[in-house]
């Protein structure tokens, strides 16, 4: 049985508050860094990180014109996206 995968676009790749919120959520969940890469292709800058969260491998990509995305097991990715939203808007609980 395979685990359903998904990708969620969190917002703009240049949004520092969003990046800080994602970083805080990953630290709070004890994510472990696995791999990081960075590159430029034409006018696009692409940064990718992989983290292990429990049994899941999460890919975080920051790409010009695309935004900041997280990909991996659906249940984990959706939980992270919700926690990031709450980190950015704590009064919306």
Report field, pTM of the whole predicted structure over 0.85: yes
Q: Which neighbouring-strand residues pair with 6? A: 72
pLDDT tens for the chain, residues 1 to 93: 678 999 999 999 999 999 999 999 999 999 999 999 999 988 899 999 999 999 999 999 999 999 999 999 999 999 999 999 999 998 865
CATH class of the structural domain 5-87 = alpha beta
The residue ranges of every structural domain in the chain are 5-87
> Of 1, 68, 14, whose CA–CA distance to 59 is shortest?
68
For residues 87 and 20, give the distance between their C-alpha atoms in angstroms, rounded to a whole number: 9
Contact 13, 22 (CB under 8 A): no
As a three-state string, the secondary structure of the chain is: CCCCEEEEEEECCCCHHHHHHHHHHHHHCCCEEEEEEEEEECCEEEEEEEEEECCEEEEEEEECCCEEEEEEEHHHHHHHHHHHHHHHCHHHC
């Amino acid at each position: 049985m395979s685990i359903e995968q998904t990708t969620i676009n969190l917002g703009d790749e240049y949004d520092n508050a969003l990046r800080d919120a994602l970083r805080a959520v990953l630290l709070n969940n004890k994510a472990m860094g696995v791999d990081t890469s960075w590159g430029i292709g034409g006018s696009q800058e692409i940064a990718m990180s992989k983290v292990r969260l429990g049994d899941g491998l999460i890919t975080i990509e920051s790409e010009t014109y695309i935004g900041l995305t997280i990909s991996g097991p659906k249940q984990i990715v959706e939980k992270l996206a919700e926690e990031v939203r709450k980190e950015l808007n704590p009064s919306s609980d």
